[in-house]
Amino acid sequence: MPTEELENALRNALAQAAADIQHPEQARQRLLQHNYRPGSRHRRLGAGITAATAASAVVLGLSLTGVLGSAPARSTGTIRTVAFTLVKHANGTATLTINLNVLLDPSTLQSDLQQDGIPALVTTGSFCSSEPVPAGIQQVLAGPKAPPGAARTFTINPAAIPAGTELSFGNFQLSPGAETAIGLIDTNFYTCTSTAPTTAPPPGADAMVAWHPGSPQTAAAKAAARRSLLERGKIVTRR
Amino acid sequence: MDWHTHRASEREFDCFAAEVSDPLLRTAHLMTGDARDAEDLVQETLLRIARRWNRVRFMDHQAAYARRVLVNLVLHDANRRSRLRAELRPQDGAADAADESAARALREVDDLAEFRWALAQLPAQQRAVLVLRYWADLPVAEVADILGCSEGTVTSTASRAAARLAETLAHSSMPTT
């Protein structure tokens, strides 16, 4: 453990170094004047990050001349962390394995999925869903079902994700172990609940939660699911 | 959400961005050593939070959440996440003598640009520990939670990073511009 003397020396040196930084006000104004509305273009301000991604992109044979915006997508490859592994295949699909014994950082998984062209909303301790439920989950997602506590492996086909929708991943720590709920949601309208689904839903019930590709959902089942969510826990609505 | 509620939400986000942008910029600059990288990272942080604003606005510790998003971006850009836990290993052996030497070297720093350059030479995760622990002044437990390691690993990494920082300052070959 660092000595108190060392810790004080570090605090003083870092405080002085931070206070000495010359650019904050101009940079701050640029940041505050940026348009952060969803859908607005993200203009890269500097070369540092773009240069770092350029180095890897050149290896993959991609051209980055004049690129502005988010980091270029991977063509293939594996991202491996303690909590999950994401493999992008040459045919455009991706295989995601989630280790349910490790606490998942939702922003990291979400960022990596988006980098692979998979629009996603990843949450921990809550699950977001839309009413009506967008159709097509069976074309987007395939995966074996395993007992709670095991790893979950899914195959994702980003090309099948309908326009205006994204995948919703909700990670819960349940008493027998962790579990992940997955569904398709309308990007502009969804509700989130902090109450974890306790069991995998029977066909037609709790239609907004799909542990794996679910069965067709009737209007009555959707309405029942909506009532169930409203009764069970806090719902945050975004319009 | 009606128009008035939407505008109120936008104003809330604007206030939040104004409040956190300066500390986020300084954190990012300390962690990357580069002003432009710092701006890019903070812009990306604010963009991600804006996209999720309708959830983030209800959080109790929005600034802490923003800092966590920023740190994850820095470490993700360093492309070392898969090796992060392997590099953040507990260190055994007596470290007090090294700590005393490092403390002395840090007290003698008189060129802050050189100090920031030396800081930028550290591996990303060592920089993260120093900045979060001794500039953001976060408790060991919170730093451990952000970085996904044990508290013991945070303290030992801090010692190791400080020793490496002192050694870099002692043999400084910072490029001149």
Enumerate residue ranges in chain A where pLDDT < 70.
23-24, 37-75, 103, 144-150, 173-178, 188-189, 195-239
Tell me the C-alpha distance between B63 and B61, whole Å: 6
Tell me the C-alpha distance between A168 and A190, whole Å: 10
Residues B96 and B64 in one domain: no
All residues of chain A having their beta carbon less than 8 Å from the beta carbon of residue B99 are 2-3, 5-6
Tell me the C-alpha distance between B74 and B76, whole Å: 5
State which of B22, B56, B77 marks the end of a domain.
B77
Residues B143 and B119 in one domain: yes
Q: What share of chain B is helix, strand, coil (3-state, %, to 5)?
A: 75, 0, 25
All residues of chain B having their beta carbon less than 8 Å from the beta carbon of residue A239 are 1
Degrees, nearest 5: CA angle A133-A134-A136: 125
DSSP annotation of A210 reads: B
Tell me the C-alpha distance between B163 and B105, whole Å: 9
Inter-chain residue contact A105 with B18, CB threshold 8 Å: no
pLDDT tens across A88-137, in order? 888 888 888 887 777 677 777 887 888 788 888 888 777 888 878 888 88
State which of B77, B108, B123 marks the end of a domain.
B77
The answer to whether position B154 is within a domain reads yes
CATH for B92: 1.20.140.160
ipTM metric: 0.80
Residues B114 and B151 in one domain: yes
pLDDT tens across B108-128, in order? 877 888 888 889 889 888 999
Total tally of structural domains belonging to chain B? 2
The answer to whether position B126 is within a domain reads yes
CATH for B60: 1.10.1740
Residues B90 and B166 in one domain: yes
The answer to whether position B177 is within a domain reads no
Residues B142 and B124 in one domain: yes
Q: Residue A54 is encoded by which pair of tokens? A: 């350029």
Flag whether pLDDT at B91 surpasses 50: no
Residues B73 and B90 in one domain: no
pLDDT tens across B93-106, in order? 445 667 777 888 88
Inter-chain residue contact A48 with B36, CB threshold 8 Å: yes
Instruction: List, in sequence order, every residue forming a beta bridge with A153; answer none if it has no partner.
Output: A97
Tell me the pLDDT of chain A averaged across its residues: 66
Residues B58 and B94 in one domain: no
The answer to whether position B176 is within a domain reads no
Inter-chain residue contact B43 with A15, CB threshold 8 Å: no
Inter-helix orientation angle B112-120/A4-19, to 10°? 110
Comparing alpha-carbon positions, the chain B residue that sits nearest to A36 is B47
The residues, ordered by sequence, that sit 6+ positions from A47 with a Cβ below 8 Å of its Cβ are B36
Query: For the whole prediction, is pTM greater than 0.95?
Result: no
A229-232 contacts at long range (C-beta below 8 A, 24 or more positions apart): A229/A129, A229/A191, A229/A193, A229/A195, A232/A193, A232/A195
All residues of chain B having their beta carbon less than 8 Å from the beta carbon of residue A101 are none
Tell me the C-alpha distance between B130 and B147, whole Å: 12
CB atoms under 10 Å from CB of B56, counted, come to 18
Tell me the C-alpha distance between B98 and A2, whole Å: 9
Residues B98 and B133 in one domain: yes
Tell me which residues of chain B, numbers 131 to 150, contact chain A at a CB-CB cutoff of 8 Å. 131, 133-135, 137, 148
The residues, ordered by sequence, that sit 6+ positions from B143 with a Cβ below 8 Å of its Cβ are B129, B132, B133, B154
Shortest distance, CA A155 to any CA of chain B (angstroms) = 21
Shortest distance, CA B146 to any CA of chain A (angstroms) = 9
Flag whether pLDDT at B66 surpasses 90: yes
The whole domain housing B163 covers 85-170
